[in-house]
Homo-oligomer: A and B are copies of this chain.
């Protein structure tokens, strides 16, 4: 359905594909953004009104206004209240935005390393609105030292959110606001170590950064194998570990879901041992094919610490997270937060509380789920197109997947060769405690790449994967 811009505003072809998997808003946003970057839409050029463009394209007007608002927030467009919308000057403050080559975090042209969400989609408009409202309305008294456990407003909405969305058993008084997952894990491990914890079991393969953090605290770190149903609880039970760190919703990095039977066994292990389960709920918001699976915490609230953050759901730069603790552990974790840094910035906490309470957080998650699902489909298709016999797994949630190559190969050589072409990705070996079985596996993230660029990205490294 090619459509031309009307009358005086610039000549430009916008092509929306109603059969495509990506939402119309995404397509429109991408088309306008690309046109500005390519120079097809020049600085100072006027855009059609949202009403006119919506009519032309045959889409709801909201699709256009949301697209304009997002591109305005990103600095591509400027506008005046009630007046027209223009392409922003490249020479103005937005120059850095317009001029920057790509939204990559590292020096990569295409960054397929897992762990970073779509930074282009951060809800700048909504976040700015929440901050503005907070700054207008919050009483002066909250500007002093707040309790390090977090402001009551945020703990209340988080408790309600985790109950509603994650089937957690959550009360505000058992929540401690953190500066993100890493800090939460650290505070909880310190509290457990003070109670005598010496050995932490972890998943193998698993997130080595967390393992290093535990080792830094003086804990013995014991890898336990992960199979198709998640961590091997029988193997875990044969160790002396007093706590285990797991990713039940979407194992990091294999992507498997911890099975129902395993969940019961794991909860039973914790109860019978008096052990603690640290549940890393890092990307549970994004589940595609099946019904969402509740948090393990709901099964054994007295033995599970549920650790989460907005680093995947909003952006790492926000630095807010939470630790939902067993009742007897919460005060100790809050006390450690107080001594560590006196708590998170209050205005940010209040802004997040408002974002969640107003339903804008949920709306953002729904939008991102659709966006990631579409991108995932494109990536899987491209992999199958370019690499016959490739096996793709770990797909049910999140924004990374595992590629198993058809022939035994050195993983690291592939990663290095891709890096030489400025494409970032991870070897499975990076997550393994011991040597692998000779099969070459790679972990590919698709959070922070543009959907339209995915086929090209795969084509760039396809010969390395065959």
A residues with a Cβ closer than 8 A to B are: 72-75, 93-94, 96-97, 100, 103-105, 116, 119-120, 122, 124, 127-128, 131-133, 135-146, 178-180, 182-183, 186, 213, 216, 315-320, 339-348, 448
Contacts and interface: CB of A to CB of B under 8 A. Distances in A.
A141 B319 contact: no
Given A316-B144, A317-B144, A347-B318, A179 B137 contact: no
A341 B100 contact: no
A186 B135 CA distance: 30
Contacts of A186: 339-341
Given A345-B317, A345-B319, A348-B345, A75 B141 contact: no
Given A105-B144, A345-B345, A75 B180 contact: no
Contacts of A94: 136-137
Contact of A105 (B122, B133, B141, B318): B141
Given A135-B128, A139-B96, A145-B105, A340 B342 contact: no
A143 B315 contact: yes
B213 A140 contact: no
Contact of A317 (B93, B124, B146): B146
A339 B141 contact: no
Given A94-B137, A137-B97, A342 B315 contact: no
A342 B144 contact: no
Given A105-B144, A144-B116, A145-B105, A139 B100 contact: yes
A75 B135 CA distance: 9
Contacts of A104: 141
The 4 closest A-B pairs by CB, nearest first: A317-B346, A143-B315, A105-B144, A183-B341
A106 to B, nearest CB: 9
A123 to B, nearest CB: 10
Contact of A127 (B135, B318, B341): B135
Given A97-B140, A131-B132, 10 more contacts: A73-B135, A75-B139, A96-B137, A105-B145, A116-B145, A119-B143, A124-B136, A128-B135, A186-B341, A345-B345
Nearest to A182: B342
Contacts of A96: 137, 139
B103 A122 contact: no
B141 A341 contact: no
B342 A316 contact: yes
Contacts of A344: 319
Contacts of A116: 144-145
Contacts of A145: 105, 116, 316-317
A372 to B, nearest CB: 16
Contact of A139 (B97, B135, B136, B318): B97
Contacts of A74: 140
A26 to B, nearest CB: 15
A124 B343 CA distance: 21
A355 B75 CA distance: 20
A409 B216 CA distance: 50
A340 B104 CA distance: 25
Contacts of A182: 339-342
